[in-house]
Amino acid sequence: MTRAIISFDTELSAGLHQRGVDARANFESSILGRCREGDFGILFQMDMLERHGLKGVFFVDPMPALVHGPRIVEAIVEPILQRGHEVQLHIHTEWLQFAPFNPAGRLTGRNIADFPLPAQKKLIALARDILMRAGVPRPVAFRAGNFGANDDTLRAVAALGFRYDSSFNGAYRDHGCAITLDPANMGMRFHHGVCEVPVSGLMEGSGRFRPAQLCAMSEEEMRDALDHAAESGAIQFSAFSHSFELLSRDRAVPNWLAVARMEALCRAVADDPRITNGGFATLPLPPPRPGRIEVAAPRPLRTARRVVEQAFGHLAHEVRYVRNVAYVAINSSRWGKIVGGIILAMA
C-alpha cells in the first residue's frame, strides 16, 4: 500500500509583515485564508479532508513567535490538534530580520541553508521547542521554508532526533534546494542520517519536474502521479499545498480552480484501494537499500491541457493581480509603461 501524505505549509507571511500588516490581519489572511467570500485556509482544508475520511499534515512555522509572541503559534496549532490532524515542523528564517532578539546573532538569511551547520541546529531546535511549548507532540518530520535546505540541514535534523525530512523538491533543485539527491528518484531513502521523503511529482513535456502541488498540477496530472506511485510500489505519495493556497494571489477571492483540484485529490486518495492516508508519525521507514522509484514520464498533451487550464484559471481568478502589476509597471518606466499597457489591455 502507498501512503498518501497530504501536507500544508502553514505560515504567516513575512512579506505581509514587512509591508506593515498587523499580526491579526496576517493570521486571518495567511492561516484562515479569509476573504470576502469566507474562510478558505486551514479550517476549510480540514473540513474537506474530513469529508473524505482523510487526515492532513500541517507543517507549522513557529518563527513568527520571535516577533509576535508564542500565543500566535498556539492559535495556529490548537484547531489542528483538536481535530486530530498532524503537526510537524516548518521554518522560515526570514523572520529573524524582524525579531527584537536574533538567536543566531547577526546572521540572517532567506533560507535555513544560508546558515552554517551550528546555527542551523540552534534555529531548528529553537523552532521545535516553540512548537512543543504550544502543545504539539515532539515533531518527527521537518520541512525547510522555500524548500531552502542543504545537506547540513539534514545533518542538523538528524542530530536533533528527527526521523524524516521533507525538504527535497525537484522543482527547487538549484533554486534554493541544495540537497544532493537525484531528483529523478521519488523514493524515500536515507541521506546524512535522516530519511528523506521527497515531494512527489512527474516530468512535464519540457523535461522539467512538476511537483505534486495544488497550484502546479492539474487534476489529471495529480491522478497520474498518484497512480504512478502506487503502480511503482512507492511507500508514499507526498503532495503539498499552503494554508493560503486556495485563495487568489492577491488573497481577495477564492481560487475555485485550486479548490476543485484539492477536492479531486481527496476523492482520488479516498477511492483508490491501493492508497492509504496518514502522516509521518506512523510512516514506515524504507529498507537500508531501498529500490529506486522513477518519476513518471512526461506526456506532452497532458502538459498542454494543464497549461490551457492554468491560463483560464488565471483569467478567472487573477485579473486584479495582473491589473495591479500593470499599474506598477505603467508608473515605473517608459518601457514599463509600454509593456504594462499591453498587459492591462489583455487583462
Give the model's pLDDT for residue 206.
72
What are the tens digits of pLDDT across the range 68-86?
999 999 999 999 999 999 9
What are the tens digits of pLDDT across the range 234-273?
999 999 999 999 999 999 999 999 999 999 999 999 999 9
Is residue 110 within 8 A of residue 31, CB to CB? The reply is no
DSSP string, 76-95: HHHHHHHTT-EEEEEE-GGG
- Report strand pairing: 34-35 vs 38-39: antiparallel
For residue 328, pLDDT beyond 70? no
Give the model's pLDDT for residue 342.
54
| Sign of the CA dihedral with 6 first, then 45, 58, and 39 last | positive
Percent of the chain with pLDDT over 70: 90
Angle at 289 between CA 288 and CA 295, to 5 degrees: 125
Give the model's pLDDT for residue 256.
94
More confident residue, 239 or 327: 239
Percent of the chain with pLDDT over 90: 81
For residue 223, pLDDT beyond 80? yes
* Average pLDDT score over the chain: 91
Give the model's pLDDT for residue 314.
66
Is residue 170 within 8 A of residue 295, CB to CB? The reply is yes
What are the tens digits of pLDDT across the range 263-317?
999 999 999 999 999 999 999 999 988 989 999 988 888 888 888 887 776 666 5
Give the model's pLDDT for residue 76.
98
More confident residue, 325 or 336: 336
As a whole number, mean pLDDT of residues 170-192 equals: 94
For residue 230, pLDDT beyond 60? yes
Could you tell me the end-to-end alpha-carbon distance of the chain, in angstroms, rounded to an integer? 46
- Phi, psi of 189, deg, nearest 5: -160, 160
As a whole number, mean pLDDT of residues 338-343 equals: 54
Give the model's pLDDT for residue 345.
46
For residue 343, pLDDT beyond 70? no
For residue 319, pLDDT beyond 80? no
